[in-house]
Amino acid sequence: MDVMKIGQDIDSWIAESELPSAANIRPIRKFDDLYPDDQDEYEAWCEWVHWHMNKDHAIIMTIQVNDKKDNWIPYEPDDSLSFPFSSMDFNRRFEGNNTLHWKIKKVYEKVKDLAQTYSCISDSDGKKRTEERFKLLVEKEFETELRTIIDHLKVYGHLMNKNKAAERIEELNKRIKKCKFIWLEHANSR
């Protein structure tokens, strides 16, 4: 009788979590039920994972790349000779990319963004600040260079190629006018 009583006391001391699992229960694995069973849900899940993994690199992904089949960057084991992004091999490989065109496109996008922001703001001080940001952007990107060329023409006109200077002035004026057109089109749209 005492042996039975001792056995019951000891059984009450053992916690349920310490007992071994039943034979028909299997442990949860790392990848159990990770992927959805439905094909549509699986594709949506894959798209979400792709977006989530690439969202930090979204700005880098906007840079245009040539559509050549062998789109690789040359590698030289000796770093003292060159490295891919500063070598002439890289420049030759991606010579079709027009970074100036890309930069100007981004300036136009920024002007449009500022104009839309201006149209949404109801505070007069906020509108003034947004318009000032637009003017500073256009001045920084185009007007400063335009004034520099005109000043150099006045002082060093006899040493400069006037045809190239006139073409550059015309090009900068077109860009300034396009910025103003984008501003007028979107600033008062609401």
Which is more confident, 148 or 18? 148
Asked if 165 contacts 153 with a C-beta cutoff of 8 angstroms, the reply is: yes
Least confident of 6-15, 66-75, 99-108: 66-75
Say what the pLDDT of residue 21 is: 64
Integer Cα distance of 188 and 184 in angstroms: 7
- pTM summary value: 0.52
pLDDT of 135 higher than 90: yes
What count of Cα atoms within 13 Å lies in the side-chain half-sphere of residue 128?
3
SS3 content of the chain, % helix, strand, coil (to 5): 65, 0, 35
pLDDT class of 180 with cuts at 50, 70, 90: very high
pLDDT of 107 higher than 90: yes
pLDDT class of 48 with cuts at 50, 70, 90: confident
The amino acid at 140: K
pLDDT of 78 higher than 60: no
Q: For a pLDDT cut of 90, what percent of the chain falls above it? A: 35
Tokens of 88: 């002439």
pLDDT of 102 higher than 70: yes
Say what the pLDDT of residue 133 is: 95
Q: What is the DSSP letter of 96?
A: T
Helices then strands, each counted (H, E), the chain: 8, 0
